[in-house]
Amino acid sequence: MRPSLGALARTLGLTARTDGASVDLAQDGPSDGLDDLGVGLGPSAVRVNARSLELPGGVCSSFAVTGYPREVGAGWLEPLLTYPGRLDVSLHVEPIPPLVAAQRLRRQLARLESASRADAQRGRLADFAAEAAADDAAELAASLARGHGRLFRAGLYLTVHAPSQGVLEGEVQRVRALAASLLLDAQPTTFRALQGWTSTLPLAADSIGARRVFDTAALAASFPFTSPDLQPVLGETPVLYGLNAYSAGVLLWDRFAQDNYNSVTLARSGAGKSYFTKLEVLRLLYQDVHVSVIDPEDEYRRLCDDVAGTHISLGAPGVCFNPFDLPQGQGEDSLIRRALFLQTLIGAMLSEPLTPEARAVLDRAVLGAYRARGINSDPRTWARHAPLLTDLTDQLDAIAQSHAPEAGTAADLSVRLAPFVTGSYRGLFAGPTTTRPTGHLIVFSLRELPDEVRAVGMLLALDAIWRTVTNPDDRRRRLVVVDEAWTLMREDEGARFLYRLAKSARKHWAGLAVVTQDAGDLLSTDLGRAVIANSATQILLRQAPQAIDQIADAFDLTDGEKTFLMAADRGQGLLCGSTPGAGVDRAAFSAIASSHEHQLVTTDPAELATRLRHLEATDRENDPQ
């Protein structure tokens, strides 16, 4: 049942009066709460003509699409969405119950078959349009019977806006010509101009009712949020990356629908790489993806606090993180894996690879430290208190005093580990773990760590994250973000660990997001290039002229893409995506954020200082004492 003119007027908070061949809807003034609501929903006055509406500041004309092409491709509505003028496009979708759809298809097939047989009996020429319609109906019926798709009633409506009636006529002709080029028959909503306009408003109300039956594939191809340069495979976790830089389309990308879930983001300092990464993290949290972040500069604290995440500030007073902690319920070889990781961690502490003799001594000392706490290969003993780094040096000192052939190596290791046990760097390893890394968002902040142990802290945090990712009792989509990854790539052990993470993350339903401003650290090493090669999602933001040639060679950029990256504004970039079955696609985009998202992710010092002064002034006004 369509609403009457009076009902529509009441909905918009307007009163109706007729005047000649047109209808004026003028506001009489609010008299109650409903009218007040209408003032916010509708304009102050509307003149309804036969084919147009006169609104304050302009005029508009609406069209209903009544004819469609037989076949469409993905993003076929993109030309309408990127029209250079002001054009409102509204797509109304209503599912048809499967039982009703099957009955209607059966009747339609019967009519088409009956008509075809009657023509054949009378000797008439075949009706090829009817045969094509019969084939389509048969395919739809088969798909519906197998449960491969559904049927929907869809209505497509257009509203063209212009500042004056004369300009509107030209805009209408251009829009109808564009629709005709897409094989769309756009008919004006004559004598129903008001209903056509309201059908394109964001009210989810179809006042025209000009519907056409679509199947699932055709409706999916009509999805309006597409990019003309990129046709991504969208799964269950699509994320809005931003607006297409050269059209009005939006760019949606689902890293979990690609060949692998890894990404690499390269940009110069100040180009907005951390801003963009935090936006993606926040939007993935909406999709129930668990995110872990390595945060070198404590940029994720406001975001973490707003979503009630877990924030661990490594290096802060009283914050300890014990690398000897054993994971529970992760296999009988957990103790061996922990001993092997400790060798990697010690190598990072010493800033050089361990010799085979040093590895043998260290393995003996690590297992000895566990035995001293009553922990062995029996998983029932793993719940006991884990040893600390000081227990490891005690074992090394015991080996050094035993006059064994490896005593010299043990003594050297103990001396070189002294700063982490009794020296300036002991704070992080001084006691048991103070905060367990659990939750939907885990942020490891490294700002409080000295530069000398920054890579060690990052490696320690990555290991804690990896133990969470590989937990077989808690399988879910996860993302591991390593911001400023050049800090880890400078260390051989850290680079190897990052490489293993990039290679193995997909097997555990997790993705690795590498973010760095120093592209040379990734592109100049075999391990760094391997990390890029194992990233199906590659994001390039503004680049420095000194690094653009190296990046262009690595990513096979064109001259136009190189120019775009060197001149890009903050937040603008190039997405290079390896779409399954379609090769490598690229799209230039500009990241966008709502005001609330911007407040959580921005790190602009001037903006933060202004906000702080505003908060202080507000506090003084509220508390004059």
Look-up of token digits 């307007």:
14
Look-up of token digits 């129930």:
288
Residues in Cβ contact with 502 at an 8 Å cutoff, skipping those fewer than 6 apart: 262, 512, 514, 530, 531, 534, 535
**Strand 310-313 relative to strand 212-215, pairing:** unpaired
Residue 54, judged by CB atoms within 10 A of its CB (0-12, 13-18, 19+), counts as buried
Q: Using CA atoms, how far apart are residues 51 and 39, in angstroms rounded to an integer?
A: 25
Q: Using CA atoms, how far apart are residues 392 and 95, in angstroms rounded to an integer?
A: 66
pLDDT at residue number 9: 32
Q: Using CA atoms, how far apart are residues 53 and 194, in angstroms rounded to an integer?
A: 7
Residues in Cβ contact with 415 at an 8 Å cutoff, skipping those fewer than 6 apart: none
| Segment 43-102, tens digit of pLDDT | 778 899 999 999 888 999 999 999 988 777 777 888 888 788 899 999 999 888 877 766
CA atoms within 13 A of residue 620's CA, in its CB half-sphere: 6
Q: Is 228 helix (H, G, I), strand (E, B) or coil?
A: coil
Domain spans of the chain, in order of start: 1-48, 58-221, 251-319+435-593, 334-421
The 8-class DSSP code of residue 230 comes to B
Nearest C-alpha neighbor of 585 from the set 537, 542, 548:
537
Nearest C-alpha neighbor of 133 from the set 160, 114, 153, 150:
114
In contact, 174 and 218? CB cutoff 8 Å: no
User: How many angstroms separate the Cα of 229 from the Cα of each of 15, 578, 585?
Assistant: 47, 13, 7
Residue 122: count of CB within 10 angstroms of its CB: 7
CATH classification of 251-319+435-593, choosing from 3.30.450.20, 3.40.50.880, 3.90.850.10, 3.40.50.300? Answer: 3.40.50.300
In contact, 206 and 91? CB cutoff 8 Å: no
**Strand 441-445 relative to strand 310-313, pairing:** parallel
Q: Take residue 483 and report the two structure tokens written for it.
A: 């911001």
CA atoms within 13 A of residue 209's CA, in its CB half-sphere: 5
Secondary element (H or E) of residue 156: strand 151-162
pLDDT at residue number 289: 94
Nearest C-alpha neighbor of 593 from the set 571, 611, 608:
571
pLDDT at residue number 167: 93
Q: Take residue 408 and report the two structure tokens written for it.
A: 């010299």
In contact, 65 and 156? CB cutoff 8 Å: yes
Long-range contacts of 548-552 (CB under 8 A, 24+ apart): 550/519, 550/520, 550/523, 551/266, 551/519, 551/523
In contact, 292 and 567? CB cutoff 8 Å: no
Q: Using CA atoms, how far apart are residues 236 and 254, in angstroms rounded to an integer?
A: 8
Q: Is 41 helix (H, G, I), strand (E, B) or coil?
A: helix
**Strand 510-516 relative to strand 478-482, pairing:** parallel
Residue 384: count of CB within 10 angstroms of its CB: 12
pLDDT at residue number 582: 52
Q: Take residue 13 and report the two structure tokens written for it.
A: 């908070």
Three-class DSSP labels, 550-609: HHHHHHCCCHHHHHHHHHCCCCEEEEEEEECCCEEEEEEEECCCCHHHHHHHCCCHHHHH
Q: Take residue 322 and report the two structure tokens written for it.
A: 């014990």
Could you tell me the pTM of the whole model?
A: 0.70
Look-up of token digits 């409706």:
219
Q: Is 151 helix (H, G, I), strand (E, B) or coil?
A: strand
Q: Take residue 372 and report the two structure tokens written for it.
A: 């001293």
State which fold the 334-421 domain adopts.
Helicase, Ruva Protein; domain 3 (1.10.8)
Q: Can you list the residues of the chain whose pLDDT is less than 70?
A: 1-42, 101-102, 126-137, 141-148, 224-234, 247-248, 328-332, 491-494, 521, 578-584, 623-625
DSSP 163-194: SSHHHHHHHHHHHHHHHHHTT-EEEE-TT-HH
Q: Take residue 63 and report the two structure tokens written for it.
A: 């069209």
Nearest C-alpha neighbor of 562 from the set 540, 583, 537:
540
Residues in Cβ contact with 119 at an 8 Å cutoff, skipping those fewer than 6 apart: 125, 126, 127
pLDDT at residue number 6: 34
DSSP 408-475: HHHHHHHHHTHHHHTSTTGGGGSSS-SS---SSEEEEE-TTS-GGGHHHHHHHHHHHHHHHHT-TTS-
Residue 593 has phi, psi (to 5 degrees) of: -145, 150
DSSP 324-351: TPPPSSS-TTHHHHHHHHHHHHHHHHHT
pLDDT at residue number 124: 75
